[in-house]
C-alpha cells in the first residue's frame, strides 16, 4: 500500500532568499535561492605548477566550519604541488 505524504502548507516551507559575498578584491558571489542558513563564503585561488589559476569555493554554516577549510587548502597545496594559493573567508549578507 503506497504511503501518502501529508499536504504541505506555507507554514511547512522555509522562505528562500539570496546570499551575497563581497570579497576584498571586489568579486561578488551571489548564492541562492536557498533556505539554508549559510553564514560565510570561502574561496581558494590556487596557482598551479604550470602557472594557470584554479578557483575553489564554497559556503558554510559557521565561521568555525569555514576556517576548517584553511587546513584542507594547506594539505591540497602540498599534495597537488601548487606554486601558491590564497584562502579567503567573508561573511554572507542576505539580499
Which of 64, 22, 61, 62 lies closest to 43 in space, CA to CA? Answer: 22
Q: What mean pLDDT do residues 51-64 have?
A: 96
All cell numbers assigned to 29: 558571489
Return the H-helix or E-strand segment holding 74. helix 63-80
pLDDT score recorded for residue 80? 95
What predicted TM-score, i.e. pTM, was given to this entire model? 0.80
For residue 21, pLDDT beyond 80: yes
Q: Where are the beta strands (DSSP E) in 9-81?
A: 17-22, 28-34, 40-47, 53-60
pLDDT in tens, 22-49: 999 999 999 999 999 999 999 999 999 9
Amino acid at each position: 500500500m503506497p504511503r501518502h505524504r501529508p499536504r504541505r502548507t506555507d507554514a511547512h516551507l522555509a522562505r528562500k532568499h539570496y546570499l551575497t559575498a563581497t570579497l576584498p578584491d571586489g568579486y561578488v558571489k551571489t548564492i541562492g535561492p536557498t533556505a539554508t542558513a549559510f553564514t560565510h563564503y570561502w574561496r581558494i585561488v590556487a596557482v598551479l605548477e604550470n602557472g594557470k589559476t584554479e578557483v575553489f569555493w564554497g559556503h558554510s554554516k559557521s565561521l568555525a566550519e569555514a576556517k576548517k577549510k584553511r587546513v584542507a587548502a594547506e594539505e591540497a597545496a602540498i599534495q597537488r604541488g601548487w606554486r601558491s594559493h590564497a584562502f579567503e573567508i567573508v561573511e554572507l549578507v542576505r539580499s
